[in-house]
Amino acid sequence: MTGLGSRPNAEQLAEFRDRVRAHIAEHAPPFRAREGHRAPENAEQETQLRAWFAGLFEAGFVGADWPIEYGGRADHHPLHDRIVSEEILRARAPRPVDQVNLAAHVLLHFGSEDQKRALLPPIRRSEHVWCQLLSEPDAGSDIAAVRSRGVQRDDGSWVIDGQKTWITDAHWADMGLALIRTDPTSSRHHGLSVFAVPLSAPGVEVRPIRTIGDAIEINEVFLSGVVVDADGLIGEAGQGWSIIMAGLDFERFGIGGNVILLELLIADLVTVARNALVDGIPALSHADIRQEVADLAVEAEVAKAFIDDHVERLIIGAEQPGDGSIAKLSFAETYHRLSAYGAELAAAVDVGADAEAQHAKERLRECWLWSRAYTVSGGSSEMMRNILAKRRLMLPSG
């Protein structure tokens, strides 16, 4: 990643935000993002999404923190990333695929120069969408329990067999970042390796899983005798646990950085509460409903405050162990509570003919149906608490 440039002043940040807004207004796909419906639903949407993501890279709004030789910008600052994320979310435009960011992070930190030259440019052109081949049946968030096996052949290539599940975006991804056990005598965190696996390779089978929101977002992936060339191994054999942990810490903070979604949820909740009548008066005029909305708004502000504080500490190099897990946990749990209450209220009231209130009701329902995914993806809330107990509180294991 590039080093930190000088901190932009308020005027420079405002100018950058204006440029981001203008780019979104001109280039965003002609459909709004929906929670739980983030993958393309047809070939036309996929083409539009890939063009949109490639355009964000080309404009220097995504991937600006990469080394300059791989497309990064010398004037990049973390505050720019925050602004891009905020404006994409507030515009309800499709946000870049999290798994692509994780793959790029892993490649930049652990990939060979040949791998970087071969795999990073297709990411920037959006020719390669990546997924994470981590979770497995009977393992869930405990990725140390990986059983998929990789055996190296005499020519240096590897043969991979196993099953992965709950794999986001695998049905339209081009590449997979796979965690595989390459030492048959190992257990838990030892003997794991990371591979870049083309999903078009013989032996890869993707079976979509339809979610409760009636969308295809996640999948099962079967690996049956999949041959990966020697240059598909990322880092060293047996280094897989540290590679994936570094990537997941990066991803978890990215999930927490979606805290602006909480702001949008509060806005939808207030819209419904203002337009719905309960006992003949607006729902928001009832003290109990107003109090609940206020409490949830405070929770959202607490999550946002942590992100703001972490970004400032990141800028000066004062981040602490477990910050990514705190960000992820705070966002995911608050999102679930907020959307659950919003969906419950929306289902119980009639907002009349107001179009925006109707849209708000539907968004609250979709967010609630998707909210449990946030408490699991990138590591479950239970795993996040376990990580914090060990890394932040330094509590003993067992």
Active site amino acids? 251
3-state secondary structure of 241: helix
Q: How far is CA 262 from CA 38, 246, 339, in A?
A: 17, 26, 9
> How far is 273 from 285, CA to CA, in rounded Å?
8
**What ranges in the chain are assigned the alpha helix state H?**
10-27, 43-58, 78-90, 98-110, 113-124, 240-256, 260-275, 287-315, 323-348, 355-374, 381-391
> How far is 172 from 372, CA to CA, in rounded Å?
22
Structure tokens at 373: 């995914």
For residue 214, the tally of other CB atoms under 10 A from its CB is 9
Say which DSSP state 178 is in: E
Torsion of CA 18, 20, 26, 32, to 10 degrees: -120
Torsion of CA 286, 287, 290, 292, to 10 degrees: -120
Say which DSSP state 93 is in: P
Structure tokens at 256: 């927490």
Structure tokens at 291: 């109090």
Q: How far is CA 231 from CA 117, 195, 280, 313, 388, in A?
A: 12, 9, 68, 37, 35
Phi, psi of 320, rounded to the nearest 5 degrees = -120, 155
